[in-house]
A and B are shown apart, each in its own frame.
Chain A
């Protein structure tokens, strides 16, 4: 595996659309559930162990070579919110564009042709990792990290939170990200029956109201 390829894929500047999404942080800020760095840490920790673990395992499974269309179906069953399904597919399509330009492969082409409106983003990311010669742990790490870095970046903009505090939140979560990535990859090796389905009720609930806001900074 190429460790540098992992850095390219995990870079927040990888042009796959993530910058326009807050990972549920925008409605949480508005509801007063995130007011400071401590709240941000609790939010990120909860998201990491729920939606993060589930997505990381999907990505790890795709990186391992499990059928991406079945994984896409598994992702649908794990995403009860239509707003979040739409977001996952939109981001999947954007990830696909960047992945095909960066690490073209027949597997990416096949998934792009089968899901022209986009497959769930973690599935595409996992396949991108596979095309880049990366393994399931790498893909899971990538997803675990973006699960928390997205909200942290968004909260810096939404609350004018001190960016050093936000980065410290991420740094303190690093051991838990490693653990989530390890568990995700292990589950992926167990096949479809072992894939986790951890979910976060507030993320599912608030995503719908947020999608209907007339004025918002982030797309999700």
Chain B
């Protein structure tokens, strides 16, 4: 049977590019990566860098708390009505890949409540190297790893490292202290990812999230074109 994509009803069935009222919906970007690699800090930095020029909202997927959402609230990177927490029942990868219904509900609720939006960042709960976002949920995904997690992670690969639209290697300021070889990480990442971009960040520095912001701007330009 043909599945109707015109959506007479109140909620879209899949990740169509248009909202039920015909307007183009916000670009949805997923951020995944291992626990502690700096996903939430990256989200916070992106919001600070872009919130004056773009209408942004964030969905967090904590493993067992609402801490990530609360971190963003505490740091006041966005007003509370622009942050939604999804509960994942101890399985964060399920909520972003296999059963995305709760996350879709969250992004649609945000568009309805505070829209129109330009950008929705969907942050995964910290998981392993295999967690990726469903294409039914996000338009592009960023995978965040850090130099302290071991400089062999790019070499080991895994779906996150090899297929994400952007690989962020974070906490470069720590490299000298943990003995990570940034050149080697860059070479390994390039070997795994071919043409897909890789950026190095240190959120401690001035405009540390700049390379990710630049990439996001390109995505947005492509999205609204």
Contacts and interface: CB of A to CB of B under 8 A. Distances in A.
Direct touching of A and B (C-beta under 8 Å) = yes
Given A90-B105, A116-B11, A219-B87, A20 B98 contact: no
A104 B102 contact: no
A112 B10 contact: yes
A219 B90 CA distance: 10
Most chain A beta carbons < 10 A, residue from B10, B88, B95: B10
Nearest to A13: B98
Interface stretch (B1-9, B38-46, B158-166, B174-182): B1-9
Chain B interface SS verdict (over half): loop
A189 interface: no
Contact of B10 (A13, A98, A116): A116
A109 B11 contact: no
Contacts of B8: 109, 113
Interface of B: 1, 3-4, 8-11, 13-14, 63-66, 86-91, 94-95, 98-102, 104-105
A94 interface: yes
B99 A17 contact: yes
A190 interface: no
A14 to B, nearest CB: 8
A113 B65 contact: no
A218 interface: yes
Contacts of A200: none
Given A101-B14, A214-B65, A22 B102 contact: no
Contacts of B88: 20
A97 B101 contact: yes
Contacts of A13: 98-99
Interface string A151-189: 000100110000000000000000000000000000000
A119 to B, nearest CB: 12
Given A94-B101, A97-B104, A215-B64, A112 B87 contact: no
